[in-house]
Chains A and B, each alone.
Chain A
Amino acid sequence: MSETSYTASEMMIAVAARMLKGARTVFVGVGLPNIACNLARYTVAPDLELIYESGIYGARPERLPLSIGDPTLVSGAASVVSMADLFGLYLQRGLVEIALLGGAQIDKYGNLNSTVIGDYTKPKTRLPGSGGALEIATNAGRTFMIMRLKRRAFVEKLDFRTSPGHLTGGDSRARLGLPGGGPELVITDKAVLNFANPDREMQLCALYPGVTVNDVQAEVGWPLRLAETIGETAAPTTEELRLIRDEVDPHAMYR
């Protein structure tokens, strides 16, 4: 382990990358998820192929993409297809093993809101909306959320359910016939949470160095369930930090 100082974003990137160990395909968003996926290709998942909703399979970006539609994702990719083909032949076909998602709000069953704060017809804040998140959450084999732990984001009740997680918990997702496995991990800036219980309810499973259970509970809007054993996540290694700083985000755009 390194004694070097690191930022909360660097910790999230390092943790997310480790979770992609051995994965073959990942559906990528812009920002932190993008950096995490590119880091994973250097470390734990050398065969990882990056899939972007803009129609890219197997991207090899030569610079950090400014958006999911950056032209650097096209040049050198394995395949570029229409969005009808990307959503139909890759996602709905079941070729996406892991998807990384975020949102403005998440509830205890991993359902996400990226549509509105307030009432849908008279919103207090109009958010971007689904994009591909709804069908990604529906069809991806496994879904990992990357979100900063904040009380206004981890809420008892969503203002709008954009993307389905484990719905009302238990087997409610399977009963509705959703093809993908649903939320598996929530990677935050303080801790990692999972849904590994019969209720499929979010539970704290690992704390980052120096963080307490109370620190996490303080940022969650419902009484947080604890896993039977709570581990400690290792800080970023010197090598992980070097790769993040020198290779995948040299201009410090997302740190």
Chain B
Amino acid sequence: MKDTSDKLVSMQKAIATHVSDDCSIAIEGFTGFICFAAGHEIIRQRRRNLTLIRMTPDLIYDQMVAAGAAKKLVFSYMGNPGVGSLYCIRRAVEKSIPCPLELEEYSHYGLVGRYAAGASRAPFFPLRSYVGSDMLAANPLIKLIDDPYGTGKIAVVPPLNPDVAILHAQRADRRGNTQLWGLLGMQKEIAFAAKHVIVVVEEIVDEATIRADPNRTLIPALIVDAVVHEPYGAHPSYVQGYYDRDNESYLAWDKLSQDHAAVLAWLDEWVYGLENHAAYVRKVGLAHLEKLKPEPWLAPPVDYGRYR
């Protein structure tokens, strides 16, 4: 059980404390809420031999693989979403540049099942998938068993319990009660599955704000080790209602990432050369980031009622 004290720390401290060489980490968030700030800090602290877990590795794992931080990737869709390939990961897989990368591959529902089993500490997760697919042969952790209730063959996947999960969200209190709206992805499940949890938020709010809308709390302080306040921490991905995806960055990466030397130069300029994410935000420029803010579309308040 995590204690109930104030857990607000800097990103530098959170990564230094919880992410070590050789550990397994999941920076989740489907298309949005991808914590680039955490990924960059891991690169900056030169972690090595990590097992990177994500349904969609996205640009952040492409950058971490190019930086030589990873030995293994657990995933279910490897692409630059809506744009194309992830060239750094492909270079590692196809040409061992900068080092070989072991792949452990699932379909989305298979990896969803691993997170769900991990979250509830169940022995496995059954799903209607994989029958008739070569993925069974490609990944021996996916098994077909006889349904004990007699409906025939059913695929099962084992629980996944990463050492650390890093989740980006709109807001949390200082203890780590975290609220998120928009695409929920598998953020809640991977948080419950992980041994340690770092939440990174756009805003720190007081506990009363959290308690006024408890349906929106996906991750309770009970399982959170560290809270980091990092505005624009998911840039160039997006945070619903706060900023849009910076699609120019995704398109630019598609071109730049085709050349390993260009990627190393990019890492020097945008990661190693900057002290922290606040410096990154200054370098991107607040005027540019302001342009990514959507016009408001407020949900009307709901009445939970007061019962006493």
Contacts and interface: CB of A to CB of B under 8 A. Distances in A.
Interface in B135-161: 135, 138, 151-153
A189 B184 CA distance: 36
Nearest to A133: B107
A19 to B, nearest CB: 24
A83 B157 CA distance: 16
Contacts of B31: 54, 67-70
B240 interface: yes
Interface in A97-145: 111, 115, 120, 123-126, 128-135, 138-139
Interface stretch (A9-17, A36-44, A173-181, A194-202): A173-181
A244 interface: no
Interface string A38-55: 000000000000000111
A217 to B, nearest CB: 28
A80 interface: yes
Contacts of B135: 115, 130, 134, 162
Contacts of A135: 107-109, 127-129
Given A55-B185, A75-B297, A81-B184, A129 B76 contact: yes
Nearest to B128: A92
B81 A134 contact: no
Nearest to A67: B82
A53 B183 CA distance: 10
Nearest to A182: B132
B127 A30 contact: no
B131 A138 contact: yes
A213 to B, nearest CB: 31
B105 interface: yes
B48 interface: no
Contacts of B79: 128
Contacts of A69: 30-32, 81, 183
A38 to B, nearest CB: 15
B108 A123 contact: no
A128 B90 CA distance: 10
Given A123-B94, A130-B107, A161-B133, A55 B128 contact: no
A84 B130 contact: no
A134 B133 contact: yes
Contacts of A7: none
Contacts, number: 165
Nearest to A166: B132
Interface string A189-224: 000000000000000000000000000000000000
B108 A162 contact: no
Interface string B285-308: 000000000100100000000000
A213 B128 CA distance: 38
Nearest to A167: B132
Interface string A51-91: 00111100000000111111100111000111110011001
A134 B245 contact: no
A22 B55 CA distance: 34
A181 to B, nearest CB: 14
B129 A71 contact: no
A129 B245 contact: no
B184 A129 contact: no
Contact of B138 (A84, A120, A179): A120
Which of B75, B85, B109 neighbours the largest number of chain A CB atoms within 10 Å of its CB? B109
A176 B131 contact: yes
Given A130-B106, A176-B131, A178-B131, A66 B116 contact: no
A37 B30 CA distance: 22
B77 A83 contact: no
B182 A74 contact: yes
B244 interface: yes
A53 B108 contact: yes
A15 B108 CA distance: 29
A71 B182 contact: yes
Contacts of B94: 123-126
B152 A83 contact: no
B93 interface: yes
5 smallest CB-CB distances across A and B, nearest first, come from A69-B31, A67-B82, A164-B132, A131-B77, A130-B107
Interface of A: 30-31, 53-56, 65-71, 74-76, 80-84, 87-88, 91-92, 111, 115, 120, 123-126, 128-135, 138-139, 160-164, 167, 173, 176-179
21 contacts: A53-B108, A55-B185, A67-B31, A67-B81, A69-B31, A69-B183, A70-B82, A71-B244, A71-B294, A75-B297, A83-B55, A83-B184, A123-B93, A128-B78, A131-B77, A132-B107, A132-B108, A134-B110, A134-B133, A138-B131, A160-B138
